[in-house]
Chain A
């Protein structure tokens, strides 16, 4: 395989995302203050002691944002993992075998995509019960299955009858081996951009859901942003720092997706 070069978008995206990931890891091990404890004066403006200032209860916002990134990122990753694994499996089976199962599942898929993703997430979570963090992950995960299924189905269906698959079949490879060893690696070109888009949608969806306070996740970026709205006049730095971190997370991964696409176009 020839070495493919980095382009500007990819580099910038990796830098931003890498930096944020480092911050998240740092936050998981150590935060300057406890994210929930009273640490000083309330509504303190950003300073060396409190990088992002403090909120109404005198909590250090920088520490809160670090913890919040951890919560939001872990939920988004778990969500995308569910969506990608189940979606790819569904896409592989329907695209490769076709037939009645394909028709039925794709009809169901069309019906599910009729719901805006937030609406579907709200529907699923009100069915599962909104109290618990794992229900939120499950609800968001289910929401992301159809889009992954659709993307991978097209890829699997288009590769089904190419020559190297036929020859693998003639050499006696079973369906499972063909799917996993021969087809799956070749869907990377559509799967990676889909993963970046899916991850961004997951971050935004998690932030929206916790912004709406459906699930009480007090250390999530969305929840903190909804807290920050109430004190915008007194502590605008709370909303600005929280909102910018969400935007930067999505921006960084969006640039990676853009970079991957550009690289594919050049290749």
Chain B
């Protein structure tokens, strides 16, 4: 319990740091957005009115905390480019991106854990090098290239989905998920390869430990030792690794959304950078970072359920 609280406190501090760094960085570069929007011909009264509307006449910390509170109240300021509330612009996009990231995460977990354990059997075998080479190849093909092939093959030729036209998540959930599934697979492939590689080396190092030797010398079957003892002991590093995977998935989603024409946060972020629409950019950056940090914390908390030694602050 104490550990859980400590971990959550750390999470909140990291979130605070992330949001503060982002906010102050954008505050530094944005200059005078009201002047940029209205041009040099604007009258001082109109400038003043716009600054007041955007809350730019407030001191720095007031603005920061008001914006931070906005993550709970939904008032995240006004987009410079669209002149609409930021939250109104991104609400539907948050759902799409989170859905796709979760889907991709699920695919990674379901595919890579059985394959990661299975790949141990190839160790030392004649085809082990082939598996290693294939694994490296999967890590090398960038998700946006896979995405292009998939969106042409499955989208345009086989017509499983229409690229660039994602059905609404609320009214046509099944169809939307089917569309997002293909994008999620493209993000997942390199990560599956990495997870398998990591699990393989964890299992190999566990298999060399004294407890495995003991278990086998007592007459246990190698396979039974693998599934009953080694698997459990490999779980902690696997969970940690999968927790870090979320960062990669989010990173991948930014690019893959572009390929598939998915109206998510990443695509909107890229467009908003082009418009220098800082209120939108900083909000999306912070939402994505929060999501990554939260998943990391969840992985840590899960780990100390799995291995109680971690609760005492020990490292295994």
- Give me the interface of A with B, judged by CB distance under 8 Å: 8-9, 12, 107, 110-111, 113-119, 122-123, 125-127, 130, 200, 204, 207-208, 211-212, 214, 225-226, 228-229, 232-233, 236, 239, 243, 246-251, 254-255, 258
Contacts and interface: CB of A to CB of B under 8 A. Distances in A.
Interface of B: 14, 17-18, 21-22, 25-26, 28-29, 129, 132-133, 136-137, 139-142, 144-145, 148-149, 152, 156, 247-248, 250-252, 254-255, 258-259, 269-270, 273-274, 276, 278, 281, 285, 288-289, 292-293, 296
B263 to A, nearest CB: 15
9 contacts: A111-B18, A116-B247, A116-B248, A119-B254, A119-B289, A225-B144, A229-B148, A243-B141, A255-B136
Contacts of A249: 140
Contacts of A254: 136, 139-140
B148 A232 contact: yes
A233 B155 CA distance: 12
A214 B285 contact: no
A116 B259 contact: no
A229 B156 CA distance: 12
Contacts of B252: 118
Given A9-B129, A9-B132, A258-B136, 5 more contacts: A115-B289, A122-B269, A126-B278, A200-B139, A243-B149
B208 to A, nearest CB: 12
Nearest to A228: B148
Contact of A115 (B28, B255, B292): B292
Given A247-B141, A247-B142, A116 B276 contact: no
A255 B29 CA distance: 42
A256 to B, nearest CB: 10
B269 A251 contact: no
A247 B144 CA distance: 11
Contact of B251 (A116, A225, A226, A247): A116
A208 B255 contact: yes
A243 B142 contact: yes
Select the residue from A117, A200, A208 with max chain B CB neighbours within 10 A: A208
A113 B246 CA distance: 12
Contact of A110 (B14, B28, B248): B14
A239 B22 CA distance: 36
A127 B269 contact: no
B273 A211 contact: no
Contacts of B270: 122, 212, 214
A127 B144 contact: no
B142 A114 contact: no
Given A114-B18, A119-B251, A207 B142 contact: yes
Contact of B254 (A111, A118, A207, A228): A118
Contacts of A232: 148, 152
B29 A116 contact: no
